[in-house]
Amino acid sequence: MSAAAGAALFDDDAALAAALPGYAARPGQAEMAHAVATAIDEGGRLVVEAGTGTGKTLAYLLPAMASRRKIIVSTATRYLQSQLDDKDVPLAQTVLGRRMHVTVLKGRANYLCLHRLNLTEASGDLYLAAKIRRVRDWAARTRTGDLGEFGDLGDGDSLWPRITSTTDNCLGQDCPLFDQCWVVNARREAQAADVVIVNHYLLFADLTLRESGFGEVLPGADAIVLDEAHRLPDIAGRFFGEALSARQLKDLVRDGLSELDSLGGDMPVLKARLQDVGEAERDFADALGPNAGSRSWQEIATPALDAAQQALADALDTLKTGLEPVASRSDRLKALARRCDELVGCLATVARDDAERINWLEKRGNTWIWHSTPLDVASPFSRAIDGYPGAWIFTSATLAVNNRLRYFCERLGLVDVVEKVLPSPFDYEHNALMYAPTAMPMPASTEFDDAVVAQTLALVTAAGGGAFVLCTSYRAVAYYGQALDAAGLDVLTQGSAPRATLLADFRADDHAVLVATSSFWEGVDVRGQALRLVIIDRLPFASPADPVLAARFTAMKEAGQNPFMDYQLPQAVITLKQGVGRLIRDAADRGLLAICDPRLFTARYGGAIRASLPPMPITRDQAVACEFLGALQPA
């Protein structure tokens, strides 16, 4: 079978109907599948927006897997990786009638490191002892070493970073447990697999490694499919930049002191130099001040902070000099010397003035990360994928602005691409209604939040619950959550429980109200009556106070561009489309979308935003909106 034959399954859909009871042909799905097949056969590049309900996953999986070529599928999150592995790929194999070698490959921070587990256990930390024993028991049973299977560790658990490796602290082939390394095992399996499912972070790590000439993580592939591609430009900024963190320095000091103790404690001078680095890091954190947030270096630089930065650089240089002559005493000392050298170079990079980059600091409590982020990722991204031959397919439900893909392609430097915008097959005109209330105060007004609460109470009462209230800030989540709770509603508020728990509770209660931000705007699939109302407080414009955006906007102005029209507005449209996409998830779904921001109609750009949304009727009358919702209440 070929890629074209896989795409042809959508023209004569008997195999699909047999594997998917109730399957209905979708012209957009067939069109996308044929475009994917052509890109794979010709080694071309395809960018396709496939509206919600198009069935884009099967549209790329069937031709890709039928091609019998090596395929990499990259997604935005670990959750989507699991969905592909557990549901979508097995379904595609059933339709194709053949089994393939498929594996999921995650970043190294997801896999247990047995060597670091031994070191952590040997440290004698009584607080962690019971949890370490449970990890030991699980490690004896696991076939993958993927900590996601363990279940007892959240992403913020203090044990997680102590029993996983990073590129900084991995000993590589010098590790005494290299033959039992789960990361190495996972990569070997990826090399042998027909289909490798990764996430965008791992893909970018590989692209940057290839560009730097230091090797690669992923196997070579004939075709790379990037699902949820709307996330790529922001992720690219992180990976084509540099970053130095408090955690890297603290880990260096802790690992170094541990190794010196294990070697007999006969290097007191080196121990003092490690302690000097730890003290210099703490002084630097103090010099940053108590305020959390993200600010440019230019904004926060003071003589005291400059002095603290120089003291940190001097302490690292001194430690580097001290490690070099003794590195041969052990593999861990050799690795520490390499890490220290890399941190010296990283500090020099983030502290260097560069017209093409913005240097900024992110501070949370006693932790900080110093970033050097490129203002434009188009050049490094296009250069990186040029060095990775094969077909490149970019897809998402939200890439287009006013039915054009120019904004997305320009941000990533994509040229000579085939572009397709495929509308959702769902009947928005009959199954959905958009409500834009009149007489709303402007979002900057002190009266705006209370006006949103009043609108929400009226709509939720009419709907009998079943509502998402999607906010553009955590401050708004807290305010609306408290106000709705005080009004007698049973509210689920983001942050009150893990994301998965909140979603499970919401799905189990037809009358629930969930108030949330960011992570609930996308990747959330609630079908049926459980979700019949989506309320969005503000148009999701990125804050110009963000140091990277502020620098990017200045550079755009100097280049004669309009930052608002060329960046902020298109990005807001894509984010808004993600939020809107939570409402109708199935052909039988019905619901109301409320956007409380008056700029949707009062601003000159409001028409461009409305034109980018699914074609649904609009009302400005609250009574009409409430009547529509009343008809959707569960019996």
**What number of helices (H) and strands (E) belong to the chain?**
28, 18
Which CATH architecture is the domain 3-101+193-238+377-422 placed in? 3-Layer(aba) Sandwich (3.40)
DSSP notation for 51-89: -TTS-HHHHHHHHHHHTTS-EEEEESSHHHHHHIIIIIH
Q: Is 431 exposed, middle or buried (0-12, 13-18, 19+ CB in 10 A)?
A: middle
Tens of pLDDT along 423-441? 999 999 999 999 999 989 9
SS (H, E, C) 102-125: EEECCCHHHECCHHHHHHHHHCCC
pLDDT at 209: 66
Closest CA to 237 of 353, 380, 388, 415: 380
Q: Which is more confidently placed, 214 or 460?
A: 460
Domain 428-630 in this protein, CATH class: alpha beta
- The span from the CA of 111 to the CA of 164, in Å, is 6
Tens of pLDDT along 475-493? 999 999 999 999 999 899 9
What is the DSSP pairing of strand 102-104 with strand 195-199? parallel
- The span from the CA of 580 to the CA of 618, in Å, is 14
SS (H, E, C) 450-477: HHHHHHHHHHHHHHCCCEEEECCCHHHH
Assess whether pLDDT exceeds 90 at residue 473: yes
The residues pairing with 396 across neighbouring beta strands, listed in sequence order, are: 49
Q: Are 45 and 414 in contact (CB under 8 A)?
A: yes
Please provide the CATH number assigned to the domain covering 242-374. 1.20.1440
Assess whether pLDDT exceeds 80 at residue 211: no
Say which amino acid occupies 15. A
* pLDDT > 70 fraction of the chain, expressed in percent and rounded: 98
What the block records as the tokens of 68 is 């019998």
What one-character DSSP code corresponds to residue 538?
A: S
Q: Is 130 exposed, middle or buried (0-12, 13-18, 19+ CB in 10 A)?
A: exposed
What the block records as the tokens of 358 is 């913005």
pLDDT at 457: 97
What the block records as the tokens of 586 is 């199935």
Other CB atoms closer than 10 Å to residue 111's CB: what's the count? 24
Region(s) of the chain under CATH 3.40.50.300: 3-101+193-238+377-422, 428-630
Region(s) of the chain under CATH 1.20.1440: 242-374
- The span from the CA of 8 to the CA of 15, in Å, is 11
How far apart, in Å, are the Cα atoms of 49 and each of 32, 40, 57, 199, 541? 9, 18, 12, 19, 21
What is the DSSP pairing of strand 357-364 with strand 293-296? antiparallel
Closest CA to 107 of 238, 211, 5: 238
What the block records as the tokens of 152 is 């007892």
Tens of pLDDT along 24-54? 888 999 999 999 999 999 999 999 999 999 9
Assess whether pLDDT exceeds 60 at residue 597: yes
- The span from the CA of 345 to the CA of 347, in Å, is 5
Length of the chain: 635
Assess whether pLDDT exceeds 60 at residue 215: no
**E strand or H helix at 373, and its extent?**
strand 367-374
SS (H, E, C) 250-294: HHHHHHHHHHHHHCCCCCHHHHHHHHHHHHHHHHHHHHCCCCCEE
Band (pLDDT 50/70/90 cuts) for residue 456 is: very high
Assess whether pLDDT exceeds 60 at residue 407: yes
Average pLDDT over every residue of 383-390: 86
**E strand or H helix at 196, and its extent?**
strand 195-199
pLDDT at 21: 81
Tens of pLDDT along 125-176? 777 888 899 999 999 999 999 998 887 666 567 888 889 988 878 888 888 9
pLDDT at 563: 94
What one-character DSSP code corresponds to residue 542?
A: P
The residues pairing with 367 across neighbouring beta strands, listed in sequence order, are: 364
Closest CA to 114 of 200, 70, 176: 176
**E strand or H helix at 4, and its extent?**
helix 3-8
Closest CA to 59 of 11, 10, 18: 10
Give me Rg for the CA atoms of the chain: 26
Tens of pLDDT along 313-367? 999 999 999 999 999 999 889 999 999 999 999 999 999 988 899 999 999 888 9
**E strand or H helix at 46, and its extent?**
strand 45-50
* pLDDT > 90 fraction of the chain, expressed in percent and rounded: 73
Closest CA to 419 of 434, 411, 408, 430: 408
Give residues with Cβ within 8 angstroms of 443, minimum separation 6.
Answer: 537, 538, 539, 597, 599
Q: Are 596 and 632 in contact (CB under 8 A)?
A: no
For the question of whether the overall pTM of this predicted structure is more than 0.85, the answer is: yes
Across 9-41, b (16+ Cβ under 10 Å) vs e yields bbeebebbeebeeebeebebbbbbbbbbbbbbb
SS (H, E, C) 393-410: EEEECCCCECCECHHHHH
